[in-house]
Structure 1
Amino acid sequence: GRRTDYDRLILEVWTDGTVTPEEAVSSAAEILMEHLKFFSSFKLVEREGEEIPGEEVERMRRILDMSVDDLELSARAANCLRTAGIHKLKDLVQKTEQEMLKYRNFGKKSLQELSESLRRYGLRFGMDLTPYLTPEEREQARRSDEAQEEGEEAEQDGLTS
């Protein structure tokens, strides 16, 4: 009842021979990711009165403030992050996997390496960091979101006129 070694998945895949089992699993994973990406835009809503304990918030803030250099990544992945201007874990985890794959020389292998490194710290791509922000950071994020929305509205007005 106390097993914790659930980090391995074994699949038995049969095909009709037109594709390899690896191609079939890869294709299935891409289809699944495509369908699940719609859920990543939902924000997790905390139940009323339920808060993350203060020590957990502080622990997560320390982790998020770590340099990506602390992840001990391959040279390729580290260089891609540096070129993209991603220096802290908090900058990295706010990106989605799709956003990361758009960076030059950043491929699926680098993405997998980064995902595994983030998982060791309890992090993942596409995280909402709001629960871990200080009140000042929340206000700054709110102003930034408002400015971005105003910019998008102005851009739309420019396109429609």
Structure 2
Amino acid sequence: MNNISIKCLKSEKIESGSIYSQFLINSLNAGQGITIGNLLRRVLLSDIGGTTITAVRIAGVRDEFSIIPGVREDILEILLNLKGVVLKSKTRDPEFGRLKIQGPAVITANSIQLPSNLEIVNPNHYIATISTSNCLEIEFKFEYGTGYKLAGQTFADKSEDFLQIDAVFMPVQKVDFKIENVYDNSNYITERLFFDVWTNGSISPEDAVSTASKFIIDLFSSLRKNNVIQGTNEFNTQDNKSPLDPHTNIAIEELQLSVRAYNCLKRAQINTIGDLLEYSPEKLQELKNFGRKSADEVFTTLKTKLGIVLK
């Protein structure tokens, strides 16, 4: 792995606030491209942390099925819209913010009053519309984390006043890579790795790749410093346990369904892919307001994103 270099070929900011960059890693030995590409991709998507809204307290609202007089959206739609607010944080400590607006008004992310440690990346992101002179008051809780957490897993201390939100902390939205062979005059083969990274704007792809690389180095450095412990047979009693489906705990938010299909699933307490797979196609279509069009959308998304085909 001599003379390996990484270069940013292009970088651009997308209108939504997302950032895209393409990188080139040169002078890899044959077979190393797929190893480095897969490792970087997995770390970028699962181990890079971010800050997001994890709970809200809305004045006069006790649960997600309540209605706010004068507000066009229901509570579930507002919570779903809040999941799209992208935050950049200088701290990993929990923070609080608030919003208080007198209608009529269109509420966007820049209406949220934040502590000095937080910054909103997409200030024009839509949240709700107040069509009357009513006042909407919301308190927000922001937390730092990695991956995603279901609403019930987010807090150690629960409060009846707060509505918890399924939190997606991942700032890296998508990672692709491809490998090309390079031949020299003596027919010696090396590889070059093209790496494409999309982030939500809270971190640049360059910083994300740097952070992921440091994570990998620290991980293997700790393995190298520790002596290998000789194995025992103590774990043999676990051998008969069936392996867990890797998709079981993935939140349905990862499917990025339409608002109608998403709301129907949430009302039926379908929060994860594991919950969804317990339903047959026929049983799924029996859900209230869940028609054939929504069912086709779910089946197609499961197949294209996760390779799951419901029989």
| Structure with higher helix content | 1
Say which structure is richer in strand.
Answer: 2
Between Structure 1 and Structure 2, whose CA radius of gyration is higher?
Answer: 2
By relative contact order (CA 8 Å, sep 6+), the higher-ranking structure is: 2
